[in-house]
Structure 1
Amino acid sequence: MSSIKTVGVVGTGLIGASWTALFLAHGYRVLVADPGEGAEKKLKANVQSFWPTLEELGLAEGASIDNYEFVGSSLGKRSAEVDFVQESAPERPDIKSKLLAELDNGTRSDVVIASSSSGIPSSQFIDQCQHPERVLIGHPFNPPHLMPLVEIVPHPKTSQTAIETARTFYASIARRPIVVKQEIPGFVANRLQAALLNEAYSLVSRGILSAEDLDAAVTTSLGPRWATVGPFMATAMGGGGGSNGFRHLLEHLGPAAQKWVDDMREHAFELTTENIDSLTRSVDKELQGKDLKELEAERDAKLVELFKRKGKQQRMRQDRIRLGTQMCSLVRPSGAVFLGRSGWVQDQNDSSKVVLLL
């Protein structure tokens, strides 16, 4: 965003460091603060470890890994220099309440203060803010420099201007912002994850299958399908396409699925020592002979490839739309331009009309 030049990051754990690297990769100047011992050293190490992945994804013109400054335990007077704040302090309302009051007092009143809180609504820590209307949740899916999702969760007093500023800013750094219209515990992605994990833990702890086979069930079915289109579009496609397909699948498979849900409720996972021990044994078997660092590197490489491919497809769609718009301006008033497969043809019903097929 042209109006945002400098970003303030408060908190240099893995989330804060990941945000810092992402902002740097998109050409922003970053001021970073954290009161923790050794915070500056850890920040530098983490940013350096994230940078190769960001280079592979593509850096903005002029982006530099060195374009940040660690300013100490707090932004302090340097708060006046920032145009956007990403707070990533510990997940405690008392800490965030005090910190948000300091940021609210030190920054310009038009600066959006976004919290990376993973489940605590911002209404629980804005009690000391003079300008709560510019505070909202900007919750990333970990790690922010790699995963595109950012959940924007306003509280009842958050202004529409702040929401739109955050949405535009996150989109400008290649994130996919979504707006959660009401404050709910855990927000959206974590709740979806918790729902699936609850059933996964239940199945494995009950001995229905191993952790390894459960992981395979996700990575070879729901994972790739939902990674490309999401559950709603997958349902519509599974029912034959369009909203009618969505309705068709719900009406025909919904009753059976409801019975499955009833069974899931009956066997909901309970967080007991016995169940945790059972799950841990199954995970230990899956991990035998495997190097966790190698698994993490393989995972990240696959994610980078997926996001690069999706980014390329999105750019191609945008280019097609732009080309179609440009061609519209070249066609005489009586002409028509339609988007389809590549090529130029004449309208079969009117030879004076030119049809652009993309």
Structure 2
Amino acid sequence: MKNSRHTIAVVGGGMTGSSWAALFAMRGDIVRIVEARPEVAATLKPRIMEMLKQSLGVSNVFGVDRNIEVYSGLEGTLDGVYAIQEAVSEQAELKQQIFAEIEKHAPPNALILSSSSAIPASVAGEQMEDPSRLIIGHPFHPPHILPLVEVVAGPQTDYELVEKTLAFYRAYGRVPVQLYREVPGFVANRLLGAVVLEAADLINRGIVNAGDLDTIITNSLGLRWAAIGPVLAGVLSGMPGGIEQLLKQIIQPLTDNMGKEPLPDEVIEKICRQAAIYYPKEEWNDLARRRDQQQGMILKIQKRTTLSTLE
């Protein structure tokens, strides 16, 4: 995707659709939002402008609203668009109907993308004549701020279309990550689910209250994971044996108490092999230094924000 101006359609004017529209419009592209609810459509432009001002600290958004057009239906609206980003409610039947309708009106080379949080493309595209055109572009909300986009294609989709989708999101400064197989919830929400389910159990058992649980996360794992992921965190765990020692000495003994099956030796070996490829041992010192620098910067920003709030 070159830097020339494009026309992008966003189907659905809720919070996710508005956030996508803000991202596309800020780049200078024409954004056509399809929203059938009149009461929602009437508030879209001012809501998107306020979203940009508040969340990004952008005071000069003059003229951005001229890039945004609002329509009530798909017919004629999708003419000439480069991409269609769906952002309707997370209901399989609704998405199936929407994508069948989008396919009828979309240009033959337009990207057809879904913001689905858990429904795979093979399910959402069941009513399409050519479901291979549909690709999941799942953002972490709000997409105009958080850079991750999980890109997941169905088994029939050509890799060239996946590459075009990855390039599309990169052009907006996003960080698209291709998943190699479909799985409900994709990766980010499955990781979120694992943490939330364990948090709910700990709260329910009276081990910690909701407020203190958040304090634990934001002052440890949340801070760490803002700089590095859990695999690199395991590599840099401070143990001489890195992630292998962490898995065997810390994680494995917890599995029974947490109602999980122990990790088989071959799974631990697989994780360690991949960790060694992405994080060679000779780079550990440099990786740890960069981790500490980033975490220190985050802590300083948090402290400044807290102080400014109290003033």
TM-score normalised to structure 2 length: 0.78
Structure 2 counterpart of 1:167:
166
Q: 2 CA distance for matches of 1:155 and 1:30?
A: 27
Q: 2:36, 2:71 within 8 Å by CA — same for their partners in 1?
A: no
Structure 2 counterpart of 1:5:
6
Q: 1:139, 1:150 within 8 Å by CA — same for their partners in 2?
A: yes
Q: 1 CA distance for matches of 2:181 and 2:226?
A: 25
Equivalent positions of 1:192-271 (< 5 A) are 192-239=191-238, 248-251=242-245, 253-265=247-259
Which residue identity does 1:68 align to in structure 2?
I
Post-superposition shift, 1:70?
Answer: 0.5
Q: 2 CA distance for matches of 1:235 and 1:63?
A: 47
Q: 2 CA distance for matches of 1:147 and 1:57?
A: 16
What RMSD, in angstroms, separates the aligned Cα atoms of the two structures? 2.5
Structure 2 counterpart of 1:118:
117
Deviations 1:251-299 (A, max 9, x none): 3552431121221127xxxxxxxxxxxxxxxxxxxxxxxxxxxxxxxxx
Identity of aligned residues (%): 36
Q: 1 CA distance for matches of 2:167 and 2:225?
A: 25
Structure 2 counterpart of 1:129:
128
Q: 2 CA distance for matches of 1:219 and 1:107?
A: 44
Query: What residue ranges of structure 1 are gaps of 5+ in the alignment?
Result: 267-301, 307-358
Task: Describe the shift of the 1:183–1:63 C-alpha distance in structure 2 as closer, same or farther (beyond 3 A).
Answer: farther
Which residue identity does 1:119 align to in structure 2?
A
Task: Describe the shift of the 1:260–1:57 C-alpha distance in structure 2 as closer, same or farther (beyond 3 A).
Answer: farther
Task: Describe the shift of the 1:85–1:58 C-alpha distance in structure 2 as closer, same or farther (beyond 3 A).
Answer: farther
Which residue identity does 2:118 align to in structure 1?
G
Higher Cα Rg: structure 1 or 2?
A: 1
Query: What residue ranges of structure 2 are gaps of 5+ in the alignment?
Result: 261-297, 303-311
Q: 1 CA distance for matches of 2:201 and 2:249?
A: 22
Q: 1:32, 1:75 within 8 Å by CA — same for their partners in 2?
A: no
Structure 2 counterpart of 1:46:
47
Structure 2 counterpart of 1:345:
none
Residue 113 of structure 1 aligns to a residue in which SS? strand
Which residue identity does 2:14 align to in structure 1?
G
Q: 2:234, 2:242 within 8 Å by CA — same for their partners in 1?
A: no
Structure 2 counterpart of 1:190:
189
Equivalent positions of 1:1-358 (< 5 A) are 1-2=1-2, 5-53=6-54, 56=57, 64-72=64-72, 74-239=73-238, 248-251=242-245, 253-265=247-259
Task: Describe the shift of the 1:134–1:57 C-alpha distance in structure 2 as closer, same or farther (beyond 3 A).
Answer: farther
Q: How many residues end up aligned between the 2 structures?
A: 263
Which residue identity does 2:215 align to in structure 1?
A
TM-score normalised to structure 1 length: 0.68
Which residue identity does 1:69 align to in structure 2?
E
Deviations 1:139-198 (A, max 9, x none): 111111111111111111122122111111111111111111111111111111110111
Task: Describe the shift of the 1:163–1:37 C-alpha distance in structure 2 as closer, same or farther (beyond 3 A).
Answer: same
Q: 2 CA distance for matches of 1:84 and 1:206?
A: 48
Residue 8 of structure 1 aligns to a residue in which SS? strand
Runs of 4+ in 1 over 4 A off after TM superposition: 57-60
Residue 37 of structure 2 aligns to a residue in which SS? coil
Structure 1 counterpart of 2:265:
none
Q: 1:26, 1:59 within 8 Å by CA — same for their partners in 2?
A: no
Q: 1:31, 1:75 within 8 Å by CA — same for their partners in 2?
A: no
Q: 1 CA distance for matches of 2:26 and 2:228?
A: 27
Q: 1 CA distance for matches of 2:162 and 2:110?
A: 12
Q: 1 CA distance for matches of 2:59 and 2:100?
A: 36
Q: 2 CA distance for matches of 1:20 and 1:159?
A: 27
